[in-house]
Amino acid sequence: MRESPHPGLYPTKSSTSRGPLKRPDLPGERGGDFSVIGKPLARVDAVAKVTGRATYADDMLLPRTLHCRILRSPHPHARIVSIDTSAARRMPGVQAVITGADLPIKFGILPVTQDERALEHEKVRYVGDPIAAVAATDEEIAAAACDAISVEYEVLDPVMSIDEALVSPKDERIQDYGGPNNIHKLVALEFGDVEGGFARAEHIREDIFFFQGNTHLPMEQHSAIATYVDGRITLWSSTQVVHYVHRALSKVLELPMHRIRVIGAAHGGGFGGKTDPFAHEIIVCKLAMVTGRPVKCTLTREEVFYAHRGRHPVLMWVRTGVTRDGRITAMHFRTALDGGAYGSYGVASTFYTGALQTVTYDIPAYRFEGCRVFTNKPPCGPKRGHGTPQPRFALELHLEKIARDISLDPVELKQRNFVKPMTRTVNWLRITSCGLDECAERVLTASGYKRREGRPGHGMGFAISSYMSGAGTAIYWNEMPHSEVQIKVDRGGVTAYCGAMDIGQGSDSVLAMIVAEELGLQPAQVRLVTADTDTTPIDLGSYSSRVTFMAGNAAIEAARKMRGLIVEAAAAKMGCDTAGVEVGGGRIGDFTFEEASVLAEARFGTLTSAGSYTPPKIAGPYKGSGVGPSPAYSYSACVVDLDADARTGLVQVNKIWIAHDVGRAINPLLVEGQIEGGVYMGLGEALMEEQAFRKGLHKWPSMLEYKSPTFLDMPEVETFIVETVDPEGPYGAKEAGQGPLLPIPPAVCSAIYDALGVWVDEVPVTPEKIVEALRRKEKGEPGRFGPTRFPTIPYPPTIRVEPPPKDLSAATATI
């Protein structure tokens, strides 16, 4: 017995450790002889999407649908004295008005931070906090009725920065938990002998970096439509996680889960922004219950900016010791996260800012101190790379500076410290396959980085990264599988059922390809039912790059069981051993698939099979170890080539080379799409995207003013897929959706230094910051733009953790 590997995320509960899952043949061990896997096939929903037939939530309009609008706070911080809805209720066409008194139960994505209400009736904590909702016969009437609601506020002093959050508030704290002052979460962990590591270092350097917050900006605004018929709610929503919405609805509406059905509509982009349960999803259900009619709510673009849950702004301080030949001896990393007004995923985000530094570089002694504060801004949460692009930015640039200090080539220093496959990090993270060396070689060779010309204004930058293939632990403590797949075969037709939500990354295509591969069919022959809490078995959703790895393994298990049944029936008819029955090309032994499945149905009755996936129990023996472990890590390396104008500060990115170790590309077309999309988003974060506020108001809550890269801003991207065939991934596959974003911002800043000789130690790198750094350099000051101080934070006493055993087999085993 030992402590739960999930402390910090929910109340501690004991669990027994158990061994690795025993599979008759590990998926990764199968050779490369595939008929479907590895083929660049069109996605299964391609035709629906190119013809405009895919049905997104806002495309739905059920008979008698009412339209909902939400009244939101105009103040960043205020107590609600009174709410008068009488005038709104009298308006023709208004069918219902609800306030916080109608939905008083709090919810939140993490069990330890149940701090949100669908409608606030006591206090508002950011501009945009929902207060009241109207259902009316049309949207204009609903909007006018919202205007007719009168709310009396007692305005409180807002807290708008990390520094302000760390001191005593003028009026009152934003939340009534956490502390001192407006601190939400504090973490202090030490692995190995950090003091000794610094003592034996031959060079020590400290740096401070800032990563500005930014938002997902999905093309589709959040939308949800609910019905209430015969005591049962059905909700169609643009969500990444039908299961977590299901749980939140059950809690807040006080309905058992069997009376709630959540269906994922076609999804117009998430990137982490549709991973929390949202107020509008709860509100339309409540309004459907009150009115007895379908109710729909689609957020406006401005509301999407305030719904947020995007990238945390993070201030970082890092101190590292190295030997003369560049080997890291110890690292101390501090982070301060500006969390916004609510918890969201913030506790996990805080741990993530310290967890994955060790999975790319061999750090023998490591200390991490993290702090998240509440501010009166929209809540931050998970965005592509969740909590790790910020420290990756700091780490890559910090190591570059160290290399230059000791006159070593930065790439050489990084390569000397690369982790090796089949090892365990000092903070107990288990590394299995690792293609870091190959990824670096591929982009360095293709880009000609080491032979680059030194013309002024031209620069190249190199950076690496890693990301998880799904979190090894669930959001809420349980022993159940993280993903489950069922397969039904009848009269020759194959249907696969899985709770996984395709948010555009292609999870439906992955499921269809895997089932087709195992049954000797083509993906188009597999019907899919996904993301429906009534009809599909669980999948925890499209976040943390978990779906291919987890649902993929579950699909393999279910499909192999089904193949076993059909092969057995075919063998009996053929009068041979099952080993003599070949599967492939639409045939099972001497029969077509259809004939063989009819034989099997006649022999066994209804043909169903199921498979599930539970991650190995590999979290380390310490509080907070639940954040960071993953069954496998992806690896990326990139080179950015750019021109930077010393006069204007304008940056023109010419080309990006990126190599990504995806383990195995189940569909290389979709993997390339994920890599290119990640590079694009990383470039936006590096150069222009910024969620900034003035007096509590978002500075630019529109798609014109919130700058994101257009067709004209995107350079050519050359992609290399590296396949290391992970021992536990489905056919060896790992993640591709998040990792490739991470190396882009530091590689951009490294290339700018290469071009102009100045460091910009914060993103986004705007022209003003480059010009200012150059101006300082001309004046004889350090040629740098970036933060100069890290605040004093009351970190708790450090928890000291013994590093794991050095022995390889012990190091990679489950704990």
Partner 1 sequence: MRHEMAREVQRQIVALDVNGERTDLLLPVHKTLLEVLREDMQLTGTKHGCELGECGTCTVLVDGRPELSCLLLPVQVEGRAITTVEGMANGSVLHPLQQAFAELGAAQCGYCTPGILLAAKSLLETNARPSRDEVREALAGNLCRCTGYAKIVDAIELAASRGA
Separation between Cα atoms, residue 163 and residue 373, nearest integer Å = 9
Residue 300 contacts partner 1 per CB under 8 A: yes
Residue 252 contacts partner 1 per CB under 8 A: no
Residue 681 contacts partner 1 per CB under 8 A: yes
Residue 653 contacts partner 1 per CB under 8 A: no
Query: Out of 1, 219, 254, 606, which residue is the one contacting partner 1 (CB under 8 A)?
Result: 219
* CB contact at 8 A, 152 and 158: no
Strand 66-72, strand 295-298: pairing: parallel
Give the list of residues 6+ apart from residue 325 with CB closer than 8 angstroms, or none: 408, 416
Beta carbon of residue 237, minimum distance to partner 1 (angstroms, whole number): 15
Query: Out of 18, 170, 232, 301, which residue is the one contacting partner 1 (CB under 8 A)?
Result: 301
Coil, helix or strand for 146? Answer: helix
Residue 41's φ and ψ, nearest 5 degrees, are -90, 150
Q: Which stretch binds partner 1 (CB under 8 A): 218-226, 579-587, 588-596, 800-808?
A: 218-226
Query: Out of 496, 670, 688, 742, which residue is the one contacting partner 1 (CB under 8 A)?
Result: 670
Indicate the residue among 370 and 682 with the shorter CB distance to partner 1. 682
Give the list of residues 6+ apart from residue 506 with CB closer than 8 angstroms, or none: 43, 667, 670, 673, 674
Indicate the residue among 271 and 785 with the shorter CB distance to partner 1. 271
Handedness of CA 198, 204, 208, 211 (dihedral sign): negative
* CB contact at 8 A, 519 and 591: no
Residue 1 contacts partner 1 per CB under 8 A: no
Give the x-and-dash track for 99-138 against partner 1 (CB under 8 A).
----------------------------------------
Residue linked to tokens 């998040």: 738
Separation between Cα atoms, residue 154 and residue 141, nearest integer Å = 28
Indicate the residue among 171 and 676 with the shorter CB distance to partner 1. 676
Q: Which stretch binds partner 1 (CB under 8 A): 116-124, 586-594, 629-637, 714-722?
A: 714-722
Q: Hey, how many other C-beta atoms are within 10 angstroms of the C-beta on 510?
A: 28
Query: Out of 130, 313, 673, 696, which residue is the one contacting partner 1 (CB under 8 A)?
Result: 673
Separation between Cα atoms, residue 789 and residue 776, nearest integer Å = 18
Q: Hey, how many other C-beta atoms are within 10 angstroms of the C-beta on 584?
A: 15
Indicate the residue among 600 and 679 with the shorter CB distance to partner 1. 679
Residue 147 contacts partner 1 per CB under 8 A: yes
Cα-based distances in Å from 716 to 406, 456, 806: 34, 22, 43
Beta carbon of residue 378, minimum distance to partner 1 (angstroms, whole number): 18
Indicate the residue among 47 and 105 with the shorter CB distance to partner 1. 47
Query: Out of 1, 81, 101, 704, which residue is the one contacting partner 1 (CB under 8 A)?
Result: 704
Give the x-and-dash track for 171-210 against partner 1 (CB under 8 A).
----------------------------------------
Coil, helix or strand for 421? Answer: coil
Amino acid at 604: F
- Token readout for 581 is 């029955």
Site for partner 1 in 268-287 (CB under 8 A): 268-271
Q: Which stretch binds partner 1 (CB under 8 A): 106-114, 192-200, 554-562, 705-713?
A: 705-713
Coil, helix or strand for 318? Answer: strand
Residue linked to tokens 């739960």: 4
Paired strand residues for 592: 587
Please tell me the total number of residues recorded for the chain in this structure. 815
Q: Which stretch binds partner 1 (CB under 8 A): 73-81, 143-151, 641-649, 726-734?
A: 143-151
Indicate the residue among 408 and 717 with the shorter CB distance to partner 1. 717
Indicate the residue among 56 and 418 with the shorter CB distance to partner 1. 56
Indicate the residue among 508 and 726 with the shorter CB distance to partner 1. 508
Coil, helix or strand for 689? Answer: coil
Residue linked to tokens 């929902």: 130
Residue 503 contacts partner 1 per CB under 8 A: yes
Beta carbon of residue 56, minimum distance to partner 1 (angstroms, whole number): 7
Query: Out of 679, 722, 747, 751, which residue is the one contacting partner 1 (CB under 8 A)?
Result: 679
Indicate the residue among 1 and 704 with the shorter CB distance to partner 1. 704
**Residues touching partner 1: how many (CB under 8 A)?**
63
Strand 430-431, strand 458-468: pairing: unpaired
Burial class (CB in 10 A: 0-12, 13-18, 19+), 421: middle
Query: Out of 156, 266, 434, 440, which residue is the one contacting partner 1 (CB under 8 A)?
Result: 266
Coil, helix or strand for 592? Answer: strand
* CB contact at 8 A, 338 and 381: no
Beta carbon of residue 217, minimum distance to partner 1 (angstroms, whole number): 6
- Token readout for 382 is 């998970």
Give the list of residues 6+ apart from residue 24 with CB closer than 8 angstroms, or none: none
Coil, helix or strand for 290? Answer: helix
- Which H/E stretch holds residue 227? strand 223-229
Beta carbon of residue 559, minimum distance to partner 1 (angstroms, whole number): 24
* CB contact at 8 A, 587 and 593: yes
Q: What does the buried/exposed string (b/e) look like for 247-285 if buried means 16 or more CB atoms within 10 Å of the residue's CB?
A: bbbbbbbebeeeebbbbbbbbbbbbbbbbbbbbbbbbbb
Indicate the residue among 53 and 232 with the shorter CB distance to partner 1. 53
Indicate the residue among 301 and 450 with the shorter CB distance to partner 1. 301
Residue 686 contacts partner 1 per CB under 8 A: no
Beta carbon of residue 144, minimum distance to partner 1 (angstroms, whole number): 4
Site for partner 1 in 36-65 (CB under 8 A): 40, 42-43, 45-56, 58-59, 61
Give the x-and-dash track for 76-105 against partner 1 (CB under 8 A).
---------------x--------------
Residue 508 contacts partner 1 per CB under 8 A: no
Beta carbon of residue 427, minimum distance to partner 1 (angstroms, whole number): 33
Beta carbon of residue 75, minimum distance to partner 1 (angstroms, whole number): 17
Residue linked to tokens 């008929």: 35
Q: Which stretch binds partner 1 (CB under 8 A): 261-269, 605-613, 768-776, 780-788?
A: 261-269
Q: Which stretch binds partner 1 (CB under 8 A): 397-405, 558-566, 623-631, 706-714?
A: 706-714
Give the list of residues 6+ apart from residue 316 with CB closer than 8 angstroms, or none: 208, 209, 210, 211, 333, 334, 335, 336, 353, 390, 391, 394, 790
Indicate the residue among 736 and 801 with the shorter CB distance to partner 1. 736
Separation between Cα atoms, residue 743 and residue 748, nearest integer Å = 9
Site for partner 1, rule CB under 8 A? 40, 42-43, 45-56, 58-59, 61, 91, 140-141, 143-144, 146-147, 216-221, 266-271, 300-301, 503-506, 669-670, 672-673, 676-681, 702-704, 708, 710-712, 714, 716-717
